[in-house]
């Protein structure tokens, strides 16, 4: 899984892949052993519940829209041009609480099992059983936190 030099055009991704991850669209842009990046489109009202990547650093560069975050227990937000840094082991939740679509570039380092997780979650739909999503995610090194009481 060596990264090749080149350009991934703005309107395409690797091998024309576009994952439907619980109502969000992820288009992988690059993958190697050391990192993976993907363009993400998050429609209004979608979110990624609080979770931890125990083996990866994760980043988001916001292109359009406003994200709300729960980052290491602190509520915050990010807007276009902002870079969000989520070190491995730090809990974080990602939310689109606005009436508009958010577009951004995500990446993780190293890649580990995230690429395989996205294939496992692809097309489960917005009504997927949360317990199934949590279980398959844990098998791929992403640990969802229990809901707050």
Angle of helix 130-139 relative to helix 114-121, nearest 10 degrees?
160
Percent helix, strand and coil across the chain, each rounded to 5? 15, 40, 45
Q: How far apart are CA 41 and CA 6, in angstroms?
A: 24
Q: How far apart are CA 35 and CA 114, in angstroms?
A: 10
Q: What string of DSSP letters covers 83-124?
A: EEEE-TT--EEEE--SSS-EEEEEEEES-TTHHHHHHHHTT-
pLDDT at 55: 97
pTM above 0.85, yes or no: yes
Give pLDDT < 50 ranges for the chain: none
Q: How far apart are CA 102 and CA 104, in angstroms?
A: 7
Question: What is the three-class DSSP state of 71?
Answer: strand
Q: How far apart are CA 17 and CA 36, in angstroms?
A: 14
Q: Of the candidates 103, 84, 92, which has an alpha carbon nearest to the alpha carbon of residue 43?
A: 103
Domains and CATH numbers, the chain: 27-141 (2.60.120.10)
pLDDT at 149: 65
pLDDT at 118: 96
Is the previous residue joined to 110 through a cis bond, with omega within 30 degrees of 0?
yes
pLDDT at 139: 96
Structure tokens that stand for 80 in this block: 């276009």
């Amino acid at each position: 899984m060596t990264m090749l030099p080149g350009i991934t055009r703005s309107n395409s991704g690797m091998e024309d892949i576009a994952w439907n991850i619980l109502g969000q669209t992820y288009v992988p842009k690059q993958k190697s052993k050391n990192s993976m990046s993907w363009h993400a489109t998050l429609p209004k009202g979608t979110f990624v519940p609080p979770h931890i990547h125990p083996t990866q650093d994760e980043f988001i560069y916001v292109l359009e829209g406003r994200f709300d975050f729960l980052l290491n227990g602190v509520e915050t937000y990010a807007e276009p041009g902002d870079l969000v840094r989520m070190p491995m082991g730090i809990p974080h939740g990602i939310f689109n609480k606005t009436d508009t679509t958010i577009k951004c570039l995500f990446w993780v380092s190293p890649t580990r099992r995230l690429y395989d997780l996205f294939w496992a979650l692809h097309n489960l739909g917005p009504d997927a059983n949360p317990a199934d999503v949590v279980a398959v995610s844990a098998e791929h090194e992403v640990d969802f936190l229990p809901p707050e009481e």
